[in-house]
C-alpha cells in the first residue's frame, strides 16, 4: 500500500479532502435537523389547556422575526451543504481523472516492460540459436577430428606391422602432401573443365573442317581420274559428248566450291557463337556474383583474403536446391555465411541464352568483393 501511495500522492490527497468535505456535510446536516422547528416544537413541554390570553403586537413581531432568522440560517446551511457537495463531487471527479491518468501511465509502463521482455526474449533466443549453431559446428569439427584420428591410428598401426617407424612417418607425410595437392586441384577443377570443353569443341570444329576439305579434295581427285580415264577411253567421242562432259565438270567444280564456302561459313558462325557464348557466360557469372554478394553478411572474425569454392545445384527457374562447400579458407561461421547468402539469393539470375543453362554450377565467393 505504501508503494501505491508513493505512486499516486495526488489521488490520495484528493481522496482525503473528499472524505473531510463529506464529514463536514454530514455534521451540518445533523445540526440543521437539531435546530429545525419540528425539533423546537418537540422540546416544548406539554401544558394543560388554558384559556386564550391576549398577546402584544411587539411579542408577535419578535416571534416572527426570530422564525425568519431561523429560516435564513437554514437556507444558508442548505447552500453550504450544496457547495460542499459540489466541491466533493468536483474533488471526486478530479480524483477519478487522476486515477485514470495513473492507470494509463501504469498500463503504458507495463506495455513498455512487456516489450522489453519480448525484445530480451527474442535476443536471448537468437543468442541461443547462434550458440546452438556454434555448438553443432564444434561437434562436427570434433567428429571429423575423431574420425581423422581414427584413420591416422589405423594407418599408423598398419604401417607399424609392415615397416619401421621412420617409413611410417614418411608415408603419413606423403599422404598429407597428396591430400593438400588434391584439395588444390579441386579448386581449379571447374576452370579446367570449362577450358577442356572449349578445347574439345574447337578440336571438333577443326576436325569437321578438315573432314570437309578432305572429302572435297578426294572428290576432285576422283573426278579428275574419271575425266582422264574417260578422255583416254573416249578419244573418238563426238563433240557433243565432250561438251556435255565439260559442262558436268564445271557443275561439279561449282558444287565443290559451294561446299567449301558453306564449310567456311559454318566455321565463322561457330566461332562467332562461341565468342557470344563466352560473353553471355561472363555476364551470367557476374550477375550471380553480384546477387550473392549483396545477400552476404560479414560474420565475426572474417578475413578479406578468405574465399570459398562451392557447387550450386539449381532448378530450371534458378531456385537453389543445394549448396556444397568444395574448398574454403575461412572458419565454420564464414562457410555458413556464404551458404546462407547463396540460399537468400535464390532464385539465381538466368543466362540470356538458356542453351547455356546448367543445373550444376561451380562458384567462387571472395570476401574482399564485399563493399
- The pLDDT value recorded for residue 335 is 94
Q: Is residue 283 part of a domain?
A: yes
* Pair 219, 341 in one domain: yes
What one-character DSSP code corresponds to residue 306?
A: -
Q: Is residue 55 part of a domain?
A: no
* Pair 123, 246 in one domain: no
* Pair 361, 258 in one domain: yes
What's the per-residue H, E or C state across 136-173? HHHHHHHHHHHHHHHHHHHHHHHHHHHCCHHHHHHHHH
* Pair 150, 217 in one domain: no
**What is d(CA 265, CA 259) in angstroms, rounded to the nearest whole number?**
10
Q: Is residue 280 part of a domain?
A: yes
* Pair 17, 126 in one domain: yes
* Pair 116, 214 in one domain: no
* Pair 237, 115 in one domain: no
- The pLDDT value recorded for residue 2 is 60
* Pair 211, 264 in one domain: yes
Q: Is residue 52 part of a domain?
A: no
Residue 320 lies in domain = 191-369
- The pLDDT value recorded for residue 347 is 94
**What is d(CA 77, CA 71) in angstroms, rounded to the nearest whole number?**
10
Q: Is residue 50 part of a domain?
A: no
What one-character DSSP code corresponds to residue 316?
A: T
The total number of structural domains in the chain stands at 2
Q: Is residue 114 part of a domain?
A: yes
pTM of the model: 0.30
Tell me which of 163, 180, 202 is where a domain ends: 163
Tell me which of 119, 144, 163 is where a domain ends: 163
Q: Is residue 171 part of a domain?
A: no
Angle of CA points 38, 42, 44, to nearest 5°? 120
* Pair 150, 254 in one domain: no
Q: Is residue 124 part of a domain?
A: yes
Tell me the mean pLDDT per 10 residues along the chain, length 371: 65 81 80 52 49 69 88 87 85 85 86 84 80 80 81 77 75 78 75 82 86 86 84 84 83 77 62 66 91 93 92 94 93 94 94 90 84 51
* Pair 211, 298 in one domain: yes
* Pair 197, 149 in one domain: no
Here the CATH number for the domain that contains residue 336 is 3.30.1150.10
* Pair 110, 254 in one domain: no
Beta strands across the sheet bearing 307-314: 320-328, 307-314, 360-366
Amino acid at each position: 500500500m505504501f508503494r501505491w501511495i508513493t505512486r499516486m500522492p495526488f489521488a490520495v490527497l484528493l481522496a482525503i479532502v473528499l472524505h473531510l468535505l463529506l464529514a463536514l456535510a454530514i455534521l451540518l446536516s445533523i445540526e440543521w435537523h437539531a435546530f429545525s422547528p419540528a425539533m423546537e416544537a418537540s422540546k416544548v413541554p406539554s401544558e394543560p389547556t388554558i384559556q386564550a390570553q391576549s398577546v402584544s403586537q411587539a411579542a408577535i413581531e419578535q416571534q416572527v422575526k426570530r422564525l425568519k432568522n431561523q429560516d435564513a440560517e437554514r437556507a444558508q446551511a442548505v447552500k453550504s451543504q450544496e457547495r460542499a457537495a459540489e466541491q466533493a463531487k468536483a474533488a471526486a471527479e478530479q480524483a477519478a481523472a487522476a486515477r485514470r491518468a495513473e492507470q494509463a501511465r501504469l498500463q503504458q509502463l507495463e506495455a513498455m516492460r512487456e516489450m522489453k521482455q519480448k525484445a530480451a526474449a527474442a535476443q536471448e533466443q537468437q543468442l541461443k540459436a547462434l550458440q546452438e549453431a556454434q555448438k553443432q559446428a564444434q561437434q562436427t569439427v570434433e567428429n571429423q577430428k575423431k574420425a581423422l584420428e581414427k584413420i591416422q591410428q589405423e594407418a599408423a598401426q598398419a604401417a607399424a606391422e609392415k615397416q619401421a617407424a621412420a617409413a611410417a612417418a614418411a608415408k603419413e607425410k606423403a599422404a598429407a602432401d597428396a591430400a593438400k595437392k588434391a584439395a588444390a586441384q579441386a579448386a581449379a577443377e571447374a576452370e579446367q573443365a570449362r577450358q577442356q570443353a572449349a578445347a574439345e569443341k574447337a578440336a571438333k570444329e577443326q576436325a569437321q573442317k578438315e573432314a570437309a576439305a578432305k572429302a572435297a579434295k578426294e572428290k576432285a581427285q576422283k573426278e579428275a581420274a574419271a575425266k582422264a580415264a574417260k578422255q583416254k577411253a573416249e578419244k573418238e567421242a563426238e563433240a557433243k559428248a565432250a561438251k556435255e562432259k565439260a559442262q558436268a565438270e564445271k557443275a561439279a567444280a561449282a558444287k565443290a566450291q559451294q561446299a567449301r564456302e558453306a564449310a567456311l561459313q559454318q566455321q565463322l558462325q561457330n566461332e562467332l557463337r562461341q565468342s557470344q557464348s563466352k560473353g553471355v557466360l561472363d555476364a551470367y557469372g557476374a550477375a550471380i556474383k553480384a546477387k550473392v554478394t549483396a545477400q552476404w553478411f560479414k560474420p565475426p572474425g572474417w578475413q578479406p583474403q578468405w574465399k570459398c569454392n562451392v557447387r550450386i545445384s539449381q532448378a530450371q527457374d534458378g531456385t537453389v536446391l543445394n549448396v556444397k562447400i568444395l574448398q574454403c579458407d575461412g572458419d565454420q561461421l564464414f562457410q555458413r555465411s556464404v551458404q546462407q547468402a547463396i540460399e537468400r539469393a535464390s532464385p539465381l539470375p538466368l543466362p540470356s541464352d538458356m542453351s547455356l543453362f546448367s543445373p550444376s554450377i561451380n562458384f567462387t565467393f571472395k570476401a574482399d568483393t564485399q563493399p
